Amino acid sequence: MKLWIAKQRYLADFTLASLARRKTKNLGLLLVFSLLVFVLASVMLFTSALRHEATQVLASSPEVILQRMVAGRHDLIPPGYIERIGRIRGVQKTAGRLWGYYYDPVVKANYTFLGLTEDAPASGQIKVGNGLARYRGVQAGNVLSFRSYSGKLFSFTVDAVLPADSELISADLVLLAEADFRAFFDYPAAHWTDITLSVANPQEVRTVAQKLANALPDSRPILRDEVLRTYQSIFDWREGIVLALLSAAILAFAILAWDKASGLSAEEKREIGILKAIGWETGDVIRMKLWEGLLISLTAFLAGYVAAYVHVFHFSAALFEPVLKGWAVLYPRFTLAPVIDGLQIATLFFFTVLPYAVAVLVPIWRASVTDPDAVMRA
């Protein structure tokens, strides 16, 4: 065993010396390899943590939301709807929601206004999300003015700023009293944006939703289960830009690795010829190259993964911000609770480390089984 270890160490020594002779090329490869693992691992860690967060947080969202559609567009709920829904068997608690969007030309951002019927701020006062407060530079006690869609100017006193660590769900929220909401948006009396309801027996949610759709054909029920499933597929690997970015990166690396691994340079071929001429066996040459492949790919994998972890969970995935932000001005600052999926990491390992180590082997085996004289003369 000792002899085996000593032999492997000599092989590793030789491999490292050989790598050092082509320092720039190998360091470049290591850097690109690490960068690829970093990007892939960052996406993986970020999406699984975000999925976990969404599942946890949205598990307490309303059981059923009922919207009304007119000509394919979401429309207001007219008076009498809530009462009709309340009469359907299985429906336990119904409530109207008041919410809408507001474009703020001052910072060119979109806000979500939410009119509260319970636990609402006093008239003339609002509570705002931390993201909005940051972009508008306001704090509790300041006055914020918005020009409503009817052209009138409304001034509200900021009663409180919602907690900073809730930005992921509340960055753009403006909470105000029901009467203020109705006055600001000129909302018709007794109309609601949509309806939330809970069902007595959780097993019957789907049945109740179908009853609702039958009773009110212009309505569209959305179940909590569907909301959760929607967020389960967030940043699905099959989706547009994510796939385009990743496939381009993987393809570029595959070309680089293939070029490096399969096309042996004349210098490398001569080196193998000399090694065989001085008495190295084919197995030794292959083992040496295996060491080379493993050292590079393992170092790149570990460095890339650790950097990705620090990037996602200690720097809030800052490099993704420009991509995620899109054209939106208001982007939440948030930290995610780390979720490390062992299976995903293992998949990443098998798709990055192993192919490289194997790609290195094939041409070496071909070169090392040919006659040393022919290899050196080639």
CB of 271 to another protein, least distance (A): 17
- 25 vs 206 by CB, closer to another protein: 206
Q: Which residues does 60 contact at the CB level (< 8 Å), separation at least 6?
A: none
DSSP category for residue 124:
T
Q: Are 304 and 15 contacting, i.e. CB atoms less than 8 angstroms apart?
A: no
CB of 302 to another protein, least distance (A): 4
Rounded CA-CA distance 149/186 in Å is 8
- 135 vs 156 by CB, closer to another protein: 135
Rounded CA-CA distance 176/37 in Å is 46
Rounded CA-CA distance 239/360 in Å is 32
CB of 366 to another protein, least distance (A): 27
Two structure tokens written together for 299: 């170092």
CB of 241 to another protein, least distance (A): 5
Planar angle of CA 129, 130, 133, nearest 5 degrees: 90
155 three-state secondary structure? strand
Residue 96 bridge partners (DSSP): 195
- 16 vs 122 by CB, closer to another protein: 16
13, HSE (Cβ side, Cα atoms, 13 Å): 6
- 58 vs 376 by CB, closer to another protein: 58
176 three-state secondary structure? strand
CB of 85 to another protein, least distance (A): 14
Two structure tokens written together for 95: 């409530």
Q: Are 126 and 159 contacting, i.e. CB atoms less than 8 angstroms apart?
A: yes
- Amino acid identity at 377: R
CB of 11 to another protein, least distance (A): 8
- 4 vs 153 by CB, closer to another protein: 4
The count of residues in the chain is 378
- 278 vs 337 by CB, closer to another protein: 337
Rounded CA-CA distance 82/191 in Å is 10
Q: Which residues does 243 contact at the CB level (< 8 Å), separation at least 6?
A: 237
CB of 372 to another protein, least distance (A): 26
- 200 vs 340 by CB, closer to another protein: 340
Rounded CA-CA distance 9/14 in Å is 9
CB of 194 to another protein, least distance (A): 8
- 117 vs 157 by CB, closer to another protein: 117
- 279 vs 342 by CB, closer to another protein: 342
Would you state the torsion angle of the CA atoms of residues 170, 173, 179, 180, taken in this order, to the nearest 10 degrees? 150
CB of 142 to another protein, least distance (A): 21
